[in-house]
């Protein structure tokens, strides 16, 4: 599965997302050609190499020379996207992002999304940022998109509505709507001062330590299209998208890890290796021996061993011993069962096993870090299960019931991981 992971080192903004993709190999000409299908004129899109704290990155600039007043409303943005000649699934993703932006702004200002009048957001460069991100992911062939927690920033910025403390209210609403993780500000060790990061996207208005690291546009794109977990990847390329300003301690970049997660979370094909089911009925063996036989068979490479209670001749309680194993272990399993049990005969038959994909991820719940096992079908996560040992550790450490830990972790993980 072609997968991308956005690592918000210095920040996340719409142009930084596009820049990271271009730096990772996306053709700027191909991106421009697809954006031209929006039929928006009066802007130029350019890319240039820059350095951010000695990291080579790409800076994307959208220069707007013609205003589009109609784009200051949600209906205007949706109309523009719908009337384009882009593929329908690209239009749908773009519309979803614009609706989320309007919903967040509407909640902040107490109006319906359709009544929102965009200010900083409702301009051509925002439309290009949003649709450029969606188009870029399509051109890169990304089947799954992930993101790190987004940095909150610190201080305040001046807007048309006045002075806002950071993160911007719309950014916070977008993060809350998605249940996405927000990373707190960094502090310079030993100084007690805010430090380490500075204007990742918008220049500081008054204070050296005021900076907007995650913009509403960046938050809308990633909370709509990405899952906030770090995936397992076979890495191929890394790209870095630069913010407008350099920073004294942290590179002002958004990294994009591109790779392949084939066989990681993908459904496993059936019949890839022949399997055998070896069974026998036993009514005259000690339970201690049964436990020992299970351990031996699993140590020898059996895929699964289980006992089923049955009733045999003369109403004797008995068990069926079942062993699932690769075909090449047939002789080893048969010899072990005959040697270690009282049975006089075995049933052996070929079987087909269909396996769901699975992946174990580290999930930061409100109760602490817990490993969670994800189950996939056709490449999509369909269910999950917290790991018992981690839940047990949390329950003992916090003095709450194991059932409560399972409930909290399952609900929080489902909101973030099952999309």
Chain region(s) in the chain for CATH 3.10.20.300: 357-417
Question: Does the predicted TM-score (pTM) go above 0.95?
Answer: no
**Average pLDDT of the residues in 191-214:** 45
**Is the pLDDT reported for residue 189 higher than 70?**
no
Task: Tell me if the domain spanning 357-417 has CATH number 3.10.20.300.
Answer: yes
Q: Who's near 397: CB < 8 A, 6+ residues apart? A: 368
Instruction: Please write the tens of the pLDDT for every residue from 11-49.
Output: 899 999 999 999 999 999 999 999 999 988 888 999 999
Range with lowest mean pLDDT among 136-140, 167-171, 246-250, 348-352 = 246-250
Confidence of residue 250 (pLDDT cuts 50, 70, 90): confident
- pLDDT surpassing 70 at residue 268: no
Mean pLDDT of 376-386: 85
How far is the C-alpha of 47 from the C-alpha of 54, rounded, in Å? 18
pLDDT digits (tens, 9 = 90+) for 324-373: 998 888 989 999 999 999 999 999 998 887 777 778 888 889 998 899 99
Fold annotation for 275-351: Alpha-Beta Plaits (3.30.70)
**Regarding predicted confidence, which is higher, 241 or 125?**
241
Listed in order, strand segments (DSSP E) in 140-282 are 144-147, 150-151, 156-159, 162-165, 182-183, 234-242, 253-260, 275-282
- pLDDT at residue 270, as a whole number: 40
Q: How would you classify the pairing of strands 380-386 and 368-377? A: antiparallel
Average pLDDT in the chain: 83
- List, in order, residues 6 or more apart from 149 with CB less than 8 Å away: 8, 180, 181, 182, 183, 228
Q: What is the pLDDT of residues 130-162, one digit of tens each?
A: 999 999 999 999 988 999 999 876 655 555 555
Task: Name the residue with higher pLDDT: 20 or 181.
Answer: 20
pLDDT band at 119 (very low <50, low <70, confident <90, very high): low
The percentage of the chain sitting over the pLDDT mark of 70, rounded to a whole number, equals 84
Asked if the model's pLDDT at residue 168 lies above 90, the reply is no
| pLDDT band at residue 82 under the 50/70/90 scheme | very high
* Delimiting residues of CATH 3.30.70.1380 domain(s) in the chain: 275-351
- Judge whether 3 and 236 are in contact, CB under 8 Å: no
pLDDT over 50 (residue 266): no
Which residues are CB-contacts of 210 (< 8 A; sequence separation ≥ 6)?
A: 154, 155, 156, 157, 166, 199, 204
pLDDT bracket for residue 319 (50, 70, 90): very high
User: What is the pLDDT at residue 179?
Assistant: 84
């Amino acid at each position: 599965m072609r997968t991308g992971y956005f690592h918000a080192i210095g920040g996340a903004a719409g142009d930084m997302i596009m820049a990271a993709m271009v730096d990772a190999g996306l053709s700027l000409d191909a991106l421009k050609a697809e954006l031209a299908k929006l039929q928006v004129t009066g802007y130029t899109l350019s890319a240039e190499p820059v350095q951010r704290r000695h990291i080579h990155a790409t800076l994307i600039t959208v220069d707007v020379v013609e205003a589009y007043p109609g784009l200051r409303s949600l209906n205007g943005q949706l109309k523009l996207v719908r009337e384009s000649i882009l593929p329908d699934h690209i239009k749908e993703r773009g519309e979803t992002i614009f609706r989320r932006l309007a919903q967040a702004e509407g909640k902040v200002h107490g109006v319906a999304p359709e009544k929102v009048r965009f200010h900083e957001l409702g301009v051509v460069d925002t439309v290009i940022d949003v649709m450029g991100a969606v188009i870029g992911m399509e051109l890169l062939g990304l089947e799954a998109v992930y993101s790190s927690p987004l940095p909150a920033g610190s201080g305040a910025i001046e807007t048309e509505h006045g002075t806002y403390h950071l993160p911007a209210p719309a950014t916070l609403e977008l993060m809350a709507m998605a249940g996405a993780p927000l990373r707190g500000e960094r502090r310079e060790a030993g100084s007690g001062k805010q430090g380490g990061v500075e204007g990742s996207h918008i220049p500081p208005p008054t204070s050296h330590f005021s900076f907007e690291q995650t913009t509403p546009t960046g938050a809308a794109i990633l909370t709509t299209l990405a899952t906030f977990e770090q995936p397992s990847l076979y890495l191929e390329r890394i790209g870095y998208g630069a913010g407008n300003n350099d920073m004294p301690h942290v590179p002002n970049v958004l990294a994009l890890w591109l790779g392949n997660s084939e066989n990681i979370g993908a459904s496993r094909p059936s019949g890839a290796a022949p399997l055998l089911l070896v069974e026998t009925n036993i009514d005259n063996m000690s339970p201690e021996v049964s436990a020992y036989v299970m351990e031996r068979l699993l140590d020898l490479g059996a895929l699964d061993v289980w006992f089923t209670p049955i009733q045999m001749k003369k109403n004797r309680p008995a068990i069926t011993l079942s062993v699932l194993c690769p075909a090449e272990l047939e002789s080893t399993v048969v010899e072990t069962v005959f040697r270690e049990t009282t049975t006089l005969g075995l049933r052996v038959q070929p079987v087909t096993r269909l396996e769901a994909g699975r992946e174990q991820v580290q999930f930061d719940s409100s109760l602490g870090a817990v490993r969670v096992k994800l189950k996939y079908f056709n490449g999509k996560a369909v269910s999950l299960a917290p790991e018992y040992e981690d839940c047990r550790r949390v329950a003992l450490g916090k003095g709450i019931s194991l059932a409560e830990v399972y409930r909290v972790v399952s609900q929080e993980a489902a909101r973030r991981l099952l999309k």
